[in-house]
Amino acid sequence: MEEHHLLESVLFYLLASVIAVPIFRRIGLGSILGYLTAGALIGPSTLHLVEDPSAALHFAEFGVVMLLFVIGLELAPDKLWRMRSQILMLGGGQLVISAILLCLLFYFVAGTTGKISIALGLTLGLSSTAFALQLMAERGIIASALGRKGFSILLLQDIAVIPILVLVSIWAGQAASENPGNFVDGLISLGSIAGLLVASRYLLNPCLHLVAQYGSREIMTAAALLIVLGTAVLVEWVGLSMGLGAFTAGIMLANSSFRHQLQTDIEPFKGLLLGLFFIAVGMTLDLSLMLSDPLLIFGGALILLVLKTSVIAGLVRLTGQNWRDSVSLGLMLSQGGEFAFVVLSQSLSLGFMEVALVNQIVLTVGLSMALTSPLVSLWSKVSDTKGHTDAGDDYDTSPESHEPEVIIAGFGRFGQIIGRMLAANDIPFTALDKSSSHVDFVRRFGNKIFYGDGSRIDVLEAAGIGHAQLMVVCVNSEDSIAIIETVKKKYPDLRIIARAVNRNHAYQLHALNVDHVFREYFASGLEAAQETLASLGYTEAQAIDKVEIFREHDEKLLREAVEYKEDFQKLTELAKEGRKELESLFTQDEKI
């Protein structure tokens, strides 16, 4: 019965998502509000299709964990170090100022005690990492200077969760002085993070290399999940945030050759679990309480949104950002966060807060999440914000942070020559190769190459094909055809240069309308022929002229052969259609 109940719940989750999310995206309100509405409808306060949202919420937290891992993959340690001032100034300033203002409101307006006011101020000062990052991704600013400022704020908030939980435990009567083991636990936690850093740097890459070399695509996906979930559970076991552990592992793998493949393998699981997380948050909304006292709940949510937007926008404006972008980022980070549910749940279980107060705050946080997406959309229309931001800080203009202008699929001898020429002219590119041993060897000489299958569009998108002006395909005939067909479907306007290993391969590439086809031995053969003619007494001009005539003649024959092949295929198809019509006529005659 329990398994049957679980399957029913999963069915309702999927059905609600498939119906609600496309509708909300179609009317311009975004997928997050669609998930929240779906959760509110199937939850215990409305249709009662799912009665226990807590189990789904606990499981779906892994979506946030995976999200932080993927974000960590985008932030190499050197970039993170350059962001330290933003993390401390923006993140610390936002949390402290927001917490003080909220604390004063609770103390003087709501009449709560000093300790509870401080705890609620700190708790509501946290934003939702999942909501904010999803909104920044939808608005296309997550990789910009503005997006990094937003992430700096979210990162410090994630780090601050642990001290807030400790503070609530102390005030609830679980003082650290009553438990001498807390100091030892802290040392164990720090040692575990240090061990994780060492393991991520020196053990994960060799393990991934072995999996890529001897495993399969499914095993590579399993390895990616093992890294994320394993680090999350390990760090939680020593008393720290699961998200912090996954984020740390992601940072240490940011310079790994497997970065794009890991990101691609994690992406589907991250998307599904984040959707489940938003649905679970929607199911926690007690709509009856909202109906009984709407002024308190709506008023509280709006005050929270306005206060945090003002604080964040003011701080971001001080960094040199314009007001439109500052307010936009402030709105994206203005809601209460998912960690508020964790802090409030602990406060309730320890008897630190009353049930009625916790229910009101939970509903206020959930409503603030629901209002964030439409408010961001409204501000975008009112302010005519296009998602363009200022150039930002120096780390955003460094060569490492540039999107690639060229994608090179296959980095053998042919591809490496192109890569070296691009690097010599400071043209950013990303090279992909699905041979892990080759990737490992080439990276030793300082080449920018990543492990990944170029025939998978998700891997190419993770490598930055959406920003590229050109793609160079330097793999063997079968793989290159698969890659080009895949790219042509999704990016028909992208220019493609391809290497042909033989004449038949060249026929196939021309048939796919590849912009430029270079036969592997043709150019070097012509160069050798030119030198041969010169050695036989021809002048340099005569030799060049003879070679050019032959080249044009051979290229013409190749094009004619391709056209002939296409015409032959069309004639064959017409013949087949004519044959079917004749057979149909004979069949009718026989019936008559």
Q: Do domains 2-45+55-375+384-392 and 399-576 have the same CATH topology?
A: no
Q: Is residue 466 scored above 70 in pLDDT?
A: yes
Tell me the β-bridge partners of 408: 431, 472
- Please report, as a single letter, which amino acid is at residue 25: R
Domain ranges of the chain: 2-45+55-375+384-392, 399-576
| Model pLDDT for residues 38-82, shown as the tens digit of each residue | 888 888 777 778 777 767 776 777 777 777 777 777 666 666 677
Q: Is residue 592 scored above 50 in pLDDT?
A: no
Q: Note the pLDDT of residue 384.
A: 64
> Which is nearest to 337 in space by CA: 52, 64, 39, 137?
64
User: What is the CATH number that goes with domain 2-45+55-375+384-392?
Assistant: 1.20.1530.20
User: For residue 226, what are the contacts with CB-CB under 8 A and spacing of at least 6?
Assistant: none
**Which helix (DSSP H) or strand (DSSP E) does residue 264 occupy?**
helix 259-283
Q: Is residue 563 scored above 60 in pLDDT?
A: yes
**52 half-sphere exposure, CB direction, 13 A CA radius:** 7
Q: Note the pLDDT of residue 334.
A: 93
Structure tokens at 45: 């306060």
User: For residue 216, what are the contacts with CB-CB under 8 A and spacing of at least 6?
Assistant: none
Fold topology of 399-576: Rossmann fold (3.40.50)
* C-alpha R_g of the chain: 30
SS3 497: strand
Conformational region of residue 281, where left means phi above 0, alpha means psi within -120 to 50, and beta covers everything else = alpha
Angle at alpha carbon of residue 534, lines to 532 and 536, rounded to 5°: 70
| Model pLDDT for residues 413-430, shown as the tens digit of each residue | 788 888 878 877 888 888
- Please report, as a single letter, which amino acid is at residue 165: L
Q: Whole-angstrom Cα distance, residue 214 to residue 209?
A: 9
Tokens 């021809």 belong to 538
Q: Is residue 264 scored above 70 in pLDDT?
A: yes
Q: Who wins on pLDDT, 360 or 390?
A: 360
Q: Whole-angstrom Cα distance, residue 526 to residue 543?
A: 10
Query: Which range has the top average pLDDT, 190-204, 253-267, 394-408, 437-451?
Result: 253-267
DSSP 22-89: HHHHHTTS-HHHHHHHHHHHHSTTTT-S---HHHHHHHHHHHHHHHHHHHHHT--HHHHHHTHHHIII
